[in-house]
Amino acid sequence: MTALTLVRPDDWHLHLRDGAHLRAVLPDTARRFARAIVMPNLKPPVTSVGLAARYRASILDALPPGMRFEPLMTLYLTEATTPADIAEAMESGIVAAVKYYPAGATTHSAAGVTDIARCHGVLAAMEEAGLPLLVHGEVTDPAVDVFDREKVFLERVLLPVVRRFPRLRVVVEHITTREAVDFVEAASENVAATLTAHHLLLNRNALFQGGLQPHHYCLPLLKREIHRGALLRAATGGSPKFFLGTDSAPHTRATKETACGCAGIYTAHAAIELYAEAFEQAGALERLEAFASFHGADFYRLPRNEDRITLEKTHWNVPSQLAFGDEVLIPFRAGERVAWRLAEQPAPTGAEA
C-alpha cells in the first residue's frame, strides 16, 4: 500500500501544557486530529469548570488562523471534588471526562487522589451522569516494583471500583501490559482503554539501548516484548474497547536530559504516522481507521468526524529538536526516519486563508 486515506482521527489522550509551550505544540496535533481529550495536569491543575473554560479558551486562542481543532476538556479529580462539580461539568457542555491521577503517580499528580474511597460520592454522580472517568492506572506504593504498578492497580484499586459502580464509564489510559488488555476485555462495555504509539512500537529495551535514553522515559514505563505484543493485538484486533490516545507529553530538553528527568514522550509531530507504522507491522493497516477515528468517538458518544486525511508511504526525517517556547524539546525519533507521511491538506472549506 502506498497511500492510506482515513476519516480524520481524534486523540483521546493529550498533554498540551500552557503558555508558549501550548502555542508550540498545538499545531502538530491540530494538523492531524479533529479533537483531543486534553489532560488537566497543569500547574495548578484544572480542577474546576471555570479553570477548564479558561484553559479551553487559551487553547482556541493558540490555534493558528485557518486551523480547526476542538479541545475536549477534562477535570482533575481531587479529594475535594464534589457531586455538585460533576453537575456543573455536565451543564457546561465543555467537560468530556474527569481524570483520576493517584497522588504521586506521575507529572503534576501531587494534588491527585490518595484513596479513591474518598471520591465514592463523586463516582456515583459520574455514573449517574454518564461522565467518563479516565484513569492513570498505577499504584504508587513504593513496595511494588515499578514494572508491576499497572497490574497491581487493576487488581487492588480499579476492580473494586468497577464492581461498585458497574455503570461508571471508565477509560484505562495508556495501557502497557497484557494484564491490562485482559482486564479491559473481561470488563463490561463501559470499560475501554487508550493505547499510545510509543507503547505499540517500543519495549523496555529502548530505555537502555546503547546507554540511558531519557527520551524513552514515560509513565507507565515501557514493558517487556510480550506486553507490547499483547497491546498490538488489542489495538489491531478490531474491538471497539481500544482506541488511540497518544499521551504526547512534551518536556523541555533540559528537564529530560538531567539527573531525575521528567517522564513523557513527545509524539504529536508524527502521531498518526507512528500508529500507521505499528499497524503495518501487524499487517493490519485496514484496521487503523476504526481504532483512530471511530472507536473513541463512539465510546464518548460524539459524532464521528466527516473529513479525511491521507497518509503516504514515504520516509521523512524527524528534526533533531523542535522549538518549544524559548526552549527546545526532543521529539520521538529525533534525527531518524518515520515510514509514513501526512499528505498536505487543502484548507478546510469556509476557513480563512
- Give the residue numbers marked as catalytic: 247
41 is written with which cell numbers? 495536569
User: How many residues line the site for ligand DOR (CB under 6 A)?
Assistant: 10
77 is an interface residue for ligand DOR by CB under 6 A? no
| Residue 81 binds which entry of ligand DOR, Zn ion, none, CB below 5-8 Å type-dependent | none
Q: How far is the CB of 264 from ligand DOR (least distance, A)?
A: 3
Q: Which of 29, 74, 78, 106 binds ligand DOR (CB under 6 A)?
A: 106
264 is an interface residue for ligand DOR by CB under 6 A? yes
| Residue 264 binds which entry of ligand DOR, Zn ion, none, CB below 5-8 Å type-dependent | ligand DOR
Which residue lies nearer to ligand DOR by CB, 112 or 297?
112
16 contacts 40 by C-beta, under 8 angstroms: no
CA distance 261 to 259: 6
CA distance 81 to 162: 19
The secondary structure of residue 156, as a DSSP letter, is I
Give the contact letters, 2-31, x = binds to ligand DOR (CB under 6 A), - = no: -------------x----------------
199 is an interface residue for ligand DOR by CB under 6 A? no
CA distance 327 to 251: 10
195 three-class SS: strand
73 is written with which cell numbers? 476538556
Q: How far is the CB of 294 from ligand DOR (least distance, A)?
A: 25
For the segment 230-259, give every residue that binds ligand DOR (CB under 6 A): 249
- Site of interaction with Zn ion (CB under 5 A): 247
Kindly compute the dihedral angle of the four CA atoms of residues 310, 312, 317, 319, in this order, to the nearest 10 degrees: -10
Q: Which of 32, 36, 41, 183 binds ligand DOR (CB under 6 A)?
A: 41
Q: How far is the CB of 81 from Zn ion (least distance, A)?
A: 19
CA distance 111 to 153: 18
| Residue 263 binds which entry of Zn ion, ligand DOR, none, CB below 5-8 Å type-dependent | ligand DOR
219 is an interface residue for ligand DOR by CB under 6 A? yes
Alpha helices (H) in the chain, listed in sequence order: 19-32, 49-62, 83-92, 120-129, 149-153, 159-164, 178-186, 197-201, 225-236, 253-256, 271-281, 288-289, 295-299
Helices 83-92, 49-62: axis angle to 10 degrees equals 40
Diameter of the chain measured on Cα atoms: 57
Which residue lies nearer to Zn ion by CB, 134 or 232?
134
Residue showing cell 517522564: 263
202 is an interface residue for ligand DOR by CB under 6 A? no
228 is written with which cell numbers? 507490547
Q: How far is the CB of 255 from ligand DOR (least distance, A)?
A: 10
Q: How far is the CB of 90 from ligand DOR (least distance, A)?
A: 26
176 is an interface residue for ligand DOR by CB under 6 A? no
Query: Is the CA virtual torsion 221, 227, 233, 239 positive or negative?
Result: negative
Which residue lies nearer to Zn ion by CB, 11 or 247?
247
136 is an interface residue for ligand DOR by CB under 6 A? yes
The residue ranges that bind ligand DOR (CB under 6 A) are 15, 41, 106-107, 136, 218-219, 249, 263-264
